[in-house]
Amino acid sequence: MARIAVDRVSMAFETDNEHRFVLKDLSLDIADGEFLTIVGLSGCGKTTLLNLIAGLLTPTSGAITVDGKPVTGPGPARAVVFQDASLLPWRSVLRNVELGVEMQKRYGKEEIRERALAHLETVGLPDFANAYPHQLSGGMRQRVNLARALIAEPDVLLMDEPFAALDAHTRESMGYELQRIWAESRKTVIFITHSADEAVTLSDRIVVMGRPPNGIIANLDVGLPRPRSMEVRGLPRFAELSLEIRELLSKAGARS
Amino acid sequence: MNRRWIPRLLGLVIPFLAWEVASRTGLMHPVFLPPFSTVLWQVVTLPGEVWPDFLSTGFEIVVSLLLTGFSGVVIGVVLAQSEKLDALLGALMWFFYAAPLVVFTTFFIVTLGVGPGVPICLGIMSGIVFVIASTRDGVREVGKDLVNVGRVFGANPLELALRIVVPAAVPMIMAGLRIGVGRVLVGVIVGEFFASGGGLGYLIVRYGNELDMARVYAAVAWIVFTSILLNTGFARIERSFVTWRPV
């Protein structure tokens, strides 16, 4: 389990010799085992924030710590579920899942294989171990993407709009399944989306980001009972929160 | 089977028949153009006659190909890492590409002496540019997402290259190799023309000097066979490597 602290982090990208700040003095704390969702419009810096926590980017200033240890690069405690499934097309599904753990030199070949099969079971794809990514649907690829992250046994799961490219029905059922997997493992999850409904359905807490470099414009506790199923969408609290997020987003969008 | 084999067969038979007739009737001087049947007989008997030359050409081609493939891929991967390095070495590379091969023979004869070293080096120099260029471009095109996948799951730079970047660039690398193979073959034969004591290229020059044209054509035919064999072989390897399609 891991507690994440983002402390006054700024991130600037160089464009035509000028610094353009995507994030400015952003601070955020995430508790052990918390499911936090970041909602924001395209270009608000949410993916940048996730990549900073993953260690794929280095902040211009400020610091990020996981359990008190500063993040200096990618590490085995943090796994990413990528927006585009980004599976290796020349590897079978099973070998793609194995990639998540094989470079940590933690287990032997046999053990890795067993674990990969078990994780394919978890994400509901036990029969597709020998298939290749191009033979899978978008939803199935995202399941493999998730299995690859889970097999690394991370304390933190960083999910960058993993269901954005899926059709509405698949997207919703993947959400409930993610909730089930999360409930079993209690990992700390940071989930990015631009869907207000998806955020409310999944999260303990929602952070809304405005236009860069405004950063966080709202911090909302969801407070809906778990486990959540489709019925949660009928609750007044769901509608209220979803509306609030939509209003925040449209206000942020209108300010341009 | 489709019906294209009939015109295809005729396309071969007619010129060979015309060749036979032209030579037999004296329309073409039989010393310069011996009858097709004579040449064909030489094609069959040549390997038995001069098998050491076949072996040395084969050896030179294999060594040249292995070195071209290995060093071409390594250099290509390195060049892809840095624009500056690429600019620095790129000019040199295109110099090799643009310069006629033959100009380097003198240099290699002086440094390596007459022997298999010269054709091997000329082979590498002729083919490597294609492997380097396509590897470099292939590696550059590997998506940032795939590289990030490798980084997130703990790949060190070597693992990143071997497990993610090079495999992802395999289609491009194979395309470069396939073009390079033909060039390597030409380089080896040209090298043998000028600076080796044996091999098919050397034989062509020797038989040519002796005006033994039937054997010259037979040696040329064997070079063509080798070229076809290498090309189809590589096309097959290429296909077997690329059974997957990009997602």
Of chain A, the percentage scoring pLDDT greater than 90 comes to 66
Q: Can you give the pLDDT at residue B246?
A: 55
User: Using one digit for the tens of pLDDT, what is the confidence trace for A80-133?
Assistant: 999 888 899 999 999 999 999 999 888 999 999 999 999 999 888 999 999 999
- Tokens coding B2: 């489709």
Q: How far is A90 from chain B (nearest CA, A)?
A: 5
For A68, the 3-state DSSP assignment is coil
User: Using one digit for the tens of pLDDT, what is the confidence trace for A46-86?
Assistant: 999 999 999 999 999 999 999 989 999 999 889 999 988 88
Residue A246 in contact with residue A194, Cβ under 8 Å? Answer: no
Residue B215 in contact with residue B202, Cβ under 8 Å? Answer: no
CA distance A11 to A21: 6
Q: Can you give the pLDDT at residue B90?
A: 78
Of the two residues B226 and B235, the one the predictor is more confident about is: B226
Query: Measuring CA to CA, which residue among A161, A205, A194 is closest to residue A35?
Result: A205
**pLDDT interval class at A161 (50, 70, 90):** very high
CA distance A180 to A57: 31
Instruction: Show the CA angle centred on residue A205, arms to residues A71 and B152, nearest 5°.
Output: 30
Q: Can you give the pLDDT at residue A2?
A: 64
Q: Pairing mode, if any, of strands A78-81 and A188-193?
A: unpaired
The alpha carbons of chain A give a radius of gyration, in whole angstroms, of 18
* Residue B235 in this model has a pLDDT that exceeds 60: yes
Whether residues A100 and B151 touch (CB distance < 8 A) is answered with no
Whether residues B152 and A141 touch (CB distance < 8 A) is answered with no
Nearest CA in chain B to A153: B153
Q: How far is B47 from chain A (nearest CA, A)?
A: 42
Residue A65 in contact with residue A5, Cβ under 8 Å? Answer: yes
Nearest CA in chain B to A151: B153
**pLDDT interval class at B242 (50, 70, 90):** low
A84 touching chain B per CB within 8 A: yes
Q: How far is CA B197 from CA A89, A101, B52, B215, B221, in A?
A: 48, 55, 11, 17, 20
Domain-wise residue ranges, chain A = 33-58+69-77+156-256, 88-153
Residue with tokens 């959540």: A228
- Tokens coding A134: 């191009």
Residue A4 in contact with residue A188, Cβ under 8 Å? Answer: yes
Residue A84 in contact with residue B149, Cβ under 8 Å? Answer: no
Q: How far is B238 from chain A (nearest CA, A)?
A: 13
Q: Pairing mode, if any, of strands A188-193 and A35-40?
A: parallel
* Residue B10 in this model has a pLDDT that exceeds 70: yes
Of chain B, the percentage scoring pLDDT greater than 70 comes to 96
Q: Can you give the pLDDT at residue B247?
A: 47
Instruction: Show the CA angle centred on residue B9, arms to residues B7 and B10, nearest 5°.
Output: 60
Q: What is the CATH number of domain A33-58+69-77+156-256?
A: 3.40.50.300
Residues of A in contact with B149 (CB under 8 A): 80, 82, 86, 88, 99
Cα torsion B206, B207, B208, B210: sign: positive
User: Using one digit for the tens of pLDDT, what is the confidence trace for B152-204?
Assistant: 999 999 999 999 999 989 888 888 988 899 999 999 999 998 877 789 999 99
* Residue B241 in this model has a pLDDT that exceeds 80: no
Instruction: Work out the number of other CB atoms within 10 angstroms of the CB of residue B117.
Output: 18
A141 touching chain B per CB within 8 A: yes
Query: Measuring CA to CA, which residue among B130, B66, B50, B141 is closest to residue B96?
Result: B130
A78 touching chain B per CB within 8 A: yes
* Residue B29 in this model has a pLDDT that exceeds 70: yes
CA distance A38 to A31: 14
Q: Which are the contacts of A251, defined by CB distance < 8 A and separation ≥ 6? A: none
- Backbone φ and ψ for A87, nearest 5 degrees, come out as -85, 155
Of chain B, the percentage scoring pLDDT greater than 90 comes to 47
Q: Can you give the pLDDT at residue B75?
A: 92
* Residue A156 in this model has a pLDDT that exceeds 60: yes
A60 touching chain B per CB within 8 A: no
Number of H helices, E strands in chain B: 11, 0
Whether residues B152 and A74 touch (CB distance < 8 A) is answered with yes
Per-window interface: A 99-118 vs B, CB < 8 A: 99-101, 103-104
Residues of B in contact with A99 (CB under 8 A): 149, 153, 163
CA distance A9 to A13: 13
Q: Which are the contacts of A224, defined by CB distance < 8 A and separation ≥ 6? A: A200, A232, A235, A237, A238
> What is the predicted ipTM?
0.89
Helix (H), strand (E) at residue B118:
helix B117-141
- Tokens coding A208: 């809304």
Whether residues A74 and B164 touch (CB distance < 8 A) is answered with no
Which candidate in A51, A88, A95, A104 is best for mutational testing of the B interface (most B CBs within 10 A)?
Answer: A88
CB pairs under 8 A between A and B: 66
For B38, the 3-state DSSP assignment is helix
Q: Can you give the pLDDT at residue A191?
A: 96
Residue with tokens 């290498």: B230
Query: Measuring CA to CA, which residue among A202, A154, A150, A160 is closest to residue A179?
Result: A202
Q: Can you give the pLDDT at residue B8?
A: 85
Whether residues A89 and B244 touch (CB distance < 8 A) is answered with yes
**pLDDT interval class at A166 (50, 70, 90):** confident
Pick from A86, A148, A152: which is nearest to B145 by CB? A86
Residue B57 in contact with residue B188, Cβ under 8 Å? Answer: yes
**pLDDT interval class at A255 (50, 70, 90):** low
Could you give the domains of chain B?
Answer: 36-241 (1.10.3720.10)
Q: Mean pLDDT across the stretch B233-244?
A: 76
The residues that bridge with A20 in the sheet, in sequence order, are A13
Q: What integer best gives the mean pLDDT of chain A?
A: 91
CA distance B54 to B200: 6
CA distance A98 to A177: 21
Which of these ranges, A28-42, A224-238, A242-256, B143-157, has the smallest mean pLDDT?
A242-256
CA distance A102 to A91: 13
Q: Mean pLDDT across the stretch B31-48?
A: 90
Q: How far is CA A175 from CA A70, A192, B144, in A?
A: 31, 12, 27
Give start and end residues of each alpha helix (H) in chain A: 46-54, 93-102, 109-122, 138-151, 168-185, 196-202, 236-254
Of the two residues A20 and A115, the one the predictor is more confident about is: A115
* Residue B7 in this model has a pLDDT that exceeds 70: yes
Q: What integer best gives the mean pLDDT of chain B?
A: 88
